[in-house]
Chain A
Amino acid sequence: MALKIPIGPQHPALKEPTNFSVELDGEEIVDAYVKPNYNHRGMERLAEEKTYPQVLVLYERICGICSQIHPQCFAQATEDALGIEVPERANYIRTIMCELERVHSHLLWAGVGAHELGFDTGLMYLWRDREAVMDILEMISGNRVNYKMNTIGGVRRDIDERKIPMLLEALDAYVPQVDLYANAFTKDPTLRARLEGSGILTRKEADELCVAGPTARASGRDVEVRRDDPYAAYEEVDFEVPVVDDGDIMARAVVRLLELYQSINILKQALKNIPEGPIQADIDEIPEGEGVGRIEAPRGEVIHYVRSDGSWYPERTKVRAPSYVNIPALIPMLIGDTVAEIPITVASIDPCWSCTARVAIVDTNKKTEKIMTFEEIRSHYG
């Protein structure tokens, strides 16, 4: 009989509620189960009782890290439903906020990843440098998290022209720091030994599970909403989409580090080319209709759906956050690895449990062909 180890609901990688159950043969993981539905927050139901601008404040709190992405996505969905044209300057400010959030999220992730590997020096360095981008966010929006920048039809705060040279300077200072971490992650023999070849998600598995974001792009699945379906001002900036085919934890780290360069690049272009003009559209009436917003969050694609019945309150809203599709991918990643690799493998998809627990999860207990063979072998010889 194989040994089963339950991990969580308070599990070792992130301090959020989910339950893993891994089945072991010696030290090797032969099967894994994920149960993330520990915390129902009832946000979609609550959103139906709030006016559109009030929902922005509520959805800002879906995730502490994506507190620009979620309200912006909801605003985009609402603008789609109500037929509102967002002014150009507001689109640029949204792009800038999105990219700043990506820089902050990826640095945070790299720090957490380093911590899971026992590389706490890396955590201290990365989170120290993350403070600089937090300061920029604070300078633009007034707060470190829950920025409250968005409103239906634009943004609430303008970026002061006098601050732009200061912001560009702060971004330039980031490039050598990112070089340092890229070097540390890809050249250090200890990190390479831990990261290369473990937690593998093949292209086929990635396609089957429809994973999103850096997790998909590290397995050679070339999906990127910013390029495929441009929103805000992404059509007017040039950037590349890093795609790596290896599918291991190192590939996911490399994709995120390369994305940091691209984000800094996008930020510089957006800050230099930001047009003059109003930052909010006028809203005359609320027609009936339905709309969808898509955004590439740091973890993958976020989708918000809004249906309007012409009243002040949305009739129905729906949120799909990227971790929801990425978590089932943990199962093929974990199988074949050892127990010691669980924390870093779990951390490697940059999971955000609070995002996922709003939805009832489907049964992930799907046995792949490989597992059946394992089971068969064990029952035969055991």
Chain B
Amino acid sequence: MFALEALKMLLKKPFTWKYPFEPIEVPEGFRGKPEYDEENCIGCGACAAVCPAEAITVTEDAKVVLTLSYADCTFCADCEKACQWDAITLSKEFELATLDKSQAIVQIEREKNVCEGCGGTISAVEQMDWIKEEISEIKDNIPADDLEAITKLCPECRRDKAAENIISEVYS
């Protein structure tokens, strides 16, 4: 039985692939290297919020910067699912080994809106454009003051301002 099998196998091609000397096919739906589409990205940071491995991080110094480190990525595709703008997709590429660490990092920079109150970050410019677009449908329901505050103050300063308003109303 086993001898017959051995003879049969002699005539067949090897069961293993000659990878890396020949390319290897990955299945449909394979989750490989995540790739940003810089045109679509609005810098909202949803991908960083859902990332379980903290492979995507957001820094807000001079600009809003999204940093994706392939060395930390677990290829779970949660970022792809969280992104409403199709700005990040998992490709079929998986050969990510490198000796140069800077090769394993991808960054996206977005201009930011600066808060008039504290000088901090409100959001990326593109994200603010999207927010304005979204609010335009319901802007009749929002007081004009608040509408202006949304575009000029960061969430913390808006909260402070709202508290100030309430206090002044109560004690006036």
Selecting from B23-31, B33-41, B103-111, B116-124, the interface stretch reads: B23-31
A57-B74 CB under 8 A given contacts A50-B52, A121-B2, A128-B15: yes
Any B CB within 8 A of the CB of A142: yes
Do the beta carbons of A146 and B52 come within 8 Å of each other? no
Q: Closest CB-CB distance, B125 to chain A, in whole Å?
A: 28
- Tell me the complex Cα distance, A310–B51, Å: 21
Of chain A, the residue at the smallest CB distance from B9 is A128
Interface centre among A54, A128, A138 (most CB of B within 10 A): A54
Do the beta carbons of A143 and B31 come within 8 Å of each other? yes
Any B CB within 8 A of the CB of A115: no
Any A CB within 8 A of the CB of B126: no
Of chain B, the residue at the smallest CB distance from A135 is B27
Annotate B1-27 by CB proximity to A: 1 below 8 A, 0 otherwise. Answer: 110000000000001000000000001
Interface centre among B15, B51, B52, B53 (most CB of A within 10 A): B52
- Tell me the complex Cα distance, A276–B35, Å: 33
B interface, by DSSP: helix, strand, loop or mixed? Answer: loop
B residues less than 8 Å from A51 (CB atoms)? 50
B residues less than 8 Å from A53 (CB atoms)? 50, 52, 78
Do the beta carbons of A143 and B52 come within 8 Å of each other? no
Give the A interface residue count (CB, 8 A): 22
Q: Closest CB-CB distance, B167 to chain A, in whole Å?
A: 29
- Tell me the complex Cα distance, A156–B50, Å: 15
- Tell me the complex Cα distance, A55–B29, Å: 22
Any A CB within 8 A of the CB of B162: no
Do the beta carbons of A57 and B2 come within 8 Å of each other? no
* Residues in chain B within 8 A of chain A (CB atoms): 1-2, 15, 27-31, 50-53, 74-78, 81
Subset of 25 A-B contacts with CB under 8 Å: A53-B52, A53-B78, A54-B52, A54-B78, A56-B52, A57-B78, A58-B52, A61-B74, A121-B2, A128-B15, A131-B15, A138-B27, A139-B27, A139-B28, A141-B29, A142-B28, A142-B30, A143-B30, A143-B31, A146-B74, A146-B75, A148-B31, A148-B77, A157-B29, A180-B1
